[in-house]
């Protein structure tokens, strides 16, 4: 009889993330170093457990019109169909068409951090994205509609009491559609997700939130489909600029 326990495996995954985030908070004094270490924990989780068609990185996002997003702590992007990802002096630039989700990673969640994350998410969602018709053996499929870009906030803990109560909901609903946060996690407390059917936020407290958030993200990525076929020539026009 097997001695494996799925419950213990999933619990261990969450415990590892929470403990690493807690060590970061306690061990590093410099805010910049602490922030980089927190980002590294979340990036490691996503790159370890998301399907290999996805990759996560700290990056800027660019569109074919030459506009750039703010720097984003965690960008989940396509690695299977994306034609190029530009790296220069340790900076990663990702085409807007390749992006599935963007997250800010902070030590704790409060109203100011929610507003900051909304601004960062909006800087990506407002970029222009191309979509070309898709050739196949029998002809051409129409250009694929643009998929939604998910946005969120990842933290170790919450500054509120209760940690994920009405104050959080008020902060999340204060922004506009461009900056909407679809999901997020405070690893010490729980995670939240916007229900697309009811357009209301749902709070999931306890129950190993880092693992719960990961599964929520994977589920949403499954239903979002594949990124559109990028118009590479739209980017190539900048060669003569």
Q: Do 95 and 235 form a contact (C-beta atoms < 8 A)?
A: yes
Task: Measure the CA–CA gap between 50 and 40, rounded to whole angstroms.
Answer: 15
Characterize 77-88 residue by residue with b for buried, 16 or more Cβ atoms within 10 angstroms of its Cβ, and e for exposed: bbeeebeebeee
Q: Which residues fall within 8 angstroms of residue 208, CB to CB, at 6 or more apart? A: 10, 11, 13, 14, 15
Contact 155, 189 (CB under 8 A): no
CB of 70 closer than 8 Å to CB of 123: yes
Q: Choose the catalytic residue: 58, 106, 120, 208.
A: 106
**For the chain, first and last CA: distance in Å?**
67
**Annotated catalytic residue 73:** yes
Residue 130 to residue 151: CA distance in whole angstroms: 20
The catalytic position among 104, 113, 157, 182 is: 104
Backbone φ and ψ for 69, nearest 5 degrees, come out as -80, 175
Pick the catalytic residue: 39, 73, 97, 182? 73
The candidate with the shortest Cα–Cα distance to 100, out of 62, 65, 146, 63, is 146
The SS3 of residue 68 is strand
Catalytic sites, residue numbers: 73, 104, 106
């Amino acid at each position: 009889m097997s001695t494996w326990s799925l419950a213990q495996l999933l619990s261990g995954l969450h415990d590892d993330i929470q403990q690493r985030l807690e060590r970061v908070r306690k061990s590093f004094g410099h805010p910049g170093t602490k922030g980089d270490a927190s980002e590294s924990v979340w990036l490691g989780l996503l790159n370890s457990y998301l399907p290999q068609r996805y990759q996560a990185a700290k990056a800027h996002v660019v569109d074919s019109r030459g506009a750039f997003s703010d720097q984003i702590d965690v960008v989940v992007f396509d690695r299977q169909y994306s034609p190029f990802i530009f790296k220069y002096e340790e900076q990663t630039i990702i085409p807007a068409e390749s992006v599935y989700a963007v997250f800010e990673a902070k030590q704790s969640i409060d109203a100011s951090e929610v507003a900051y994350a909304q601004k960062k998410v909006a800087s990506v969602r407002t970029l222009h994205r191309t979509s070309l018709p898709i050739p196949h053996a029998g002809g051409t499929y129409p250009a694929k509609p643009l998929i939604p870009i998910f946005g969120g906030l990842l933290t170790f803990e919450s500054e509120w009491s209760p940690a994920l109560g009405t104050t959080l909901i008020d902060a999340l609903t204060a922004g506009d559609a461009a900056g909407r946060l679809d999901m997020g996690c405070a690893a010490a407390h729980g995670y939240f997700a916007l229900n697309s059917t009811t357009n209301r936020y749902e709070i999931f407290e306890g129950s190993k939130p880092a693992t719960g958030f990961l599964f929520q993200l994977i589920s949403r990525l499954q239903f979002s489909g594949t990124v559109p076929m990028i118009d590479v020539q739209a980017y190539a026009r900048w060669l003569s600029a």
